[in-house]
Each structure stands twice: as structure tokens, then as C-alpha cells.
Amino acid sequence: MERSLQPTWAAKRAALTTFMTIFDKAKKTLQQLSVTDAHGVESLFTELRAAAERELAESISRGAPNPAQREKLAKALRDRWLARKGGLVAQVDENWLKTAGKDLKPAVGKQFNELRRSTVGLEFEKLIEAVPVKEAPVVQMGLPLGFEPAHATPRDLTLPGYRRPLGSIHPVIRMQREIEDIFLRLGFRIESGPEIESTYYNFDALNIPESHPSRDDWDTLYIDSKTVLRTHTSPVQIRSMEKYGAPLYILIPGKCYRHDNPDSTHSPMFHQIEGLAVDEDITFADLKGTLDFFAKMLFGEKVRTRFQPSFFPFTEPSGEVAVSCFVCDGRGCRVCKESGWIELMGCGMVHPQVLRNGGIDPDKYSGWAFGLGVDRFAMVKYDINDIQLFFQGDVRFLEQF
């Protein structure tokens, strides 16, 4: 009996599979593709990953004429590969992974995970970053921009290039650095802490009980019952005492938040600096001498300081500091509201209970602290009548500094 010269169905299917693209193969099951071992699985996935890398490279090389076209290209390519319904990765999951037999399932699963990792670059956000915008050349008089005929005057390559104007330091940060420089020369160091703070560090450890008005929702921005946006930088005092112990000399600059309606003198976000000194035999006289030196360094040798009693839960005794107006030399003007004095800050000796909460023995150590608003200092020094100007980002205002 003569052997038939017609190819068998298995041979026809093998030949058909050979000439199918990888995208056609993704629509068929492994059984339909006659893949029966791990080597065949690896070959299929290698071909698919190569196709993904090729399409990504072509898109990056070709680019897009404008941002809108880039978004359109990125969306089309993302949907082609990563769409939940009909995307090539979804087709491979449905047709290759889910229908694989028990003997092939581990090999298919491993290769499928590698495929997903290799197609991360086809996500929309990644494509937007990777695909460049290549503007089409502007044509003038039938010639592309940049074309110079033989008779054209050669360009002067010695002309200076275009320069971007340099910015300046923000007035609040400028003021903050001036204050920091003074205390750094006195041996203090800069400390910082979280702006989202627990009620323990923001209130309890600072001797502020639950009945204190500052713990009311109308004064404090609460995230939840135990977490707030810090109302002052004082929590860093407790954290630093716990961390370093005594002796301790620190300056604490940073942002603070309170439930204030914005106006010319109030902002829900503001900048504060606090100082803390803890050591043996520290007295109120040391505090007065330090702050008097600070005021003279900042505002000039002629200014005088004035201390008057006040109350703060975390200091005892407490006081408020004012300086003679450096604009009118104490005679009275618009800046000092005709009083001749400008209020600067609150201060006092650290309450013994606050020292205990920080892990320091108040019988051996004493300390003093002060706190001031950097924004208010900048307003006074630069004669600014509206605190909102600091936060509006108006270049015309900021260029003056």
C-alpha cells in the first residue's frame, strides 16, 4: 500500500503554529499550541516578553508630536497589553495559565510572574515618563527651522546663552536662619520632630491637662482623638530630654498648626522657634541674660529688653519679653503701635513636672525655655502688614527679598 503524500493533521497544525504571531498564540491554549513541556512554555513566554520590550522600545524611539498624542499612545499601548479584559497579559492568564495541566502549572506560573514584572514599563504612568515629546520641525518658506542656505549670515556662537533668574531665600526662612545663627554661636544645637504628634507629647507631657482650652477642637486640629497637628514645637523638648538627658541646650524650629481663621495677623500654619536649656544651677538670671543678648544681636545694640510676669502651663515662673522699638527708638510709631515696645516671646523656667516627664530629675537639674513666632518676627523686621503674603507665593512680593 502506497504511503499518502498528503501531510497529516498534526503536521498541518505544527506548520500553522510556526507561522502564527505571538499575539495569535496568546488567544489559544497550550494544548492547541501543542506545548507539552517546560521548555515549550519558556519559549512561548520568552517570545512574548521580547515582543513587549520591542513595542516599548519602538514607542520610546518614535516618540509623540505633542503631549496629547503621547497620552493617546500610552493609553493604547497600555490597553493592548494590560487591559483587564482583552489585554495580552489577561489572555495569557486565561488561556495559558488557567488551562494548564498539573504538570505544566508550576512552569507556567513562574513564567507568568516574570511576564507581569517585565510589562511594568507598559503602565500608563511609566509610559508617560518614558515616551518623549518630539515636536515636529517648524517649516518656514518651505524649509525646516534651523536650515541655513549657503548665503546666510553665520550664527555668532560667542553670544551668551539664556539664563534663568536665581531665586532668593524666603523671608521667613531668612529670619529663621538669623535666629539659628545667634544660638548656634552660644552652643545650642538644632533639633526637629514630627509635625503629626500624639496628644501625650503635645499636651500631657507638657503639663497641659484635658481641661485646658488649647485642647478644644476650636483651637487644635485633631486627626483623631489621640493624634493632632502639633500646636507648638514644644513636644520636641520632651522627645529631646528623653533622648539625650541633661545637660541639654537645643533650638527647635518648625511648622505648627492651629485652628485660626486666616487674616492679616493669623494663619492656620505658622513657623515657631523654641529654645531649651537644662543644666545644673540654671536660674532665671541666665534666661534674662541670654534673651537680652539675643535681642541685641538681632535688632541692634541700642535695644532694651523688658520682662513682665505671665502664665504658661509648662513653665514656672513664666514671663513675656518685649524690646524697645528699634524703628522709633522707643518714642512711639506705627510699628510699635505708639507704645515704644514690641512684644517678642514667652519664656520661663521649665516646670519640674515637665522635667520629670522628660526623664530628668528636677532636684538635680533646672532649665529655662522660650518660644517665639518666626512669621511675626519677619513681619516686624521687614515691615510687612499681612502674614498671608508669606504663603501666597506671589513672585512680585518674594522678589523684594
pLDDT in tens, 350-361: 999 999 999 999
- Integer Cα distance of 167 and 160 in angstroms: 20
Three cell numbers written together for 303: 535695644
Cell 513541556 belongs to which residue? Answer: 37
pLDDT for residue 238: 95
pLDDT of residue 152: 53
All three cell numbers of 172: 521667613
pLDDT in the model for residue 186:
92
90 close to 83: Cβ distance less than 8 angstroms: yes
Q: Whole-angstrom Cα distance, residue 166 to residue 172? A: 18
Phi, psi of 369 (to 5 degrees): -145, 160
Q: Rounded CA gap, 359 and 233, in Å? A: 19
Backbone angles phi, psi at 324, to 5 degrees: -65, 140
C-alpha cell at 390: 508669606
Residues 6+ apart with CB under 8 A from 331: 325, 340
DSSP string, 116-145: HHHTGGGSHHHHHHHSPB-PPPPEETTEET
**Beta strand extents in 126-247 (DSSP E only):** 139-140, 143-144, 189-190, 196-198, 222-224, 227-229
**Residue closest to 234 by CA, chosen among 351, 377, 370:** 370
CA 115 to chain centre: 33
User: Minimal CA–CA distance to 312: which of 353, 281, 342?
Assistant: 353
In this prediction, residue 2 carries a pLDDT of: 41
Contact 389, 398 (CB under 8 A): no
Q: What span, in angstroms and rounded, lies between the C-alpha atoms of 323 and 304? A: 5
Q: What is the pTM of this model?
A: 0.57
Beta-ladder partners of 144: 139
**How many Cβ atoms are within 10 Å of 47's Cβ, its own excluded?**
12
Residue numbers in the chain where pLDDT is lower than 50: 1-19, 137-148
Measuring CA to CA, how many Å separate 333 from each of 30, 341, 379?
89, 10, 15
- Grid cell in block for residue 177: 536662619
Cα distance between residue 395 and residue 353, in whole Å:
47
**Could you give all domains of the chain from N- to C-terminal order, each with its CATH number?**
10-130 (no CATH), 171-398 (3.30.930.10)
pLDDT given for residue 386 in this prediction: 87
What's the pLDDT at 353? 93
Return the DSSP state at 326.
T
Which are the contacts of 41, defined by CB distance < 8 A and separation ≥ 6?
30, 35, 96, 104, 107, 108, 111
Nearest to 251 by CA among 269, 272, 230: 272
